[in-house]
Structure 1
Amino acid sequence: MTTQIETPVKLGDTVRHARKALGLTQPQLALAAGVGVRFIVDLEAGKPTVRLEHVLRVLQALGGTLAVIGLNDSQAGAQE
């Protein structure tokens, strides 16, 4: 399934929905992702300053990934 995320609040809602669909509590997800419970609370609340590294861990723990769509690949490769 693909979900279009355009705001921190939408990301938080998506993470919360996925967590609940898997029957996980916030502490269980935090443990599985290797982050603190406070981070999960902030992420699900739509806090705009969460650490990307931790977001990626949470998404992986939920069985998801992050994809960027619509960028010109030749420009993205030039930045490496």
Structure 2
Amino acid sequence: MPTLIETPEHLGDVVRHTRKALSLTQPQLALAAGVGVRFIVDLEAGKPTVRLENILRVLQVLGATLSVSSSEDSQTQAGPK
């Protein structure tokens, strides 16, 4: 089931949890994603100004994807009212 992420802090928590579940250190994840360790630290801390391009790289290494849906999508999936 997809995880609903609504804040930078929650994204950071999910990244940290997934990284640890894969037994990766922050430096290992940074190297694999081609980003700096500071970026991983900032991402996991929920810093709201991290670069989307780098977030996508990290998610790819973690085997995660990013999906966007709108409230219209939810209504369509639930059926007409």
Please state which band the TM-score falls in when normalised by the shorter chain.
0.7 to 0.9
In structure 2, relative to structure 1, the CA distance for the partners of 1:71 and 1:52 (3 Å cut) is farther
Aligned sequence identity (%): 78
- Give the greater-gyration-radius structure (CA): 2
Q: Hey, what does 2:31 align to over in structure 1?
A: 31
- Post-superposition shift, 1:70? 1.7
Q: How many residues align?
A: 73
Aligned-residue CA RMSD in angstroms? Answer: 1.4
TM-score normalized by the length of structure 2:
0.85
Gaps of 5+ in 2: 74-81
Q: Hey, what does 2:79 align to over in structure 1?
A: none
1:19 pairs with 2:19? yes
Structure 1 runs of 4+ aligned residues shifted over 3 Å read none
Gaps of 5+ in 1: 74-80
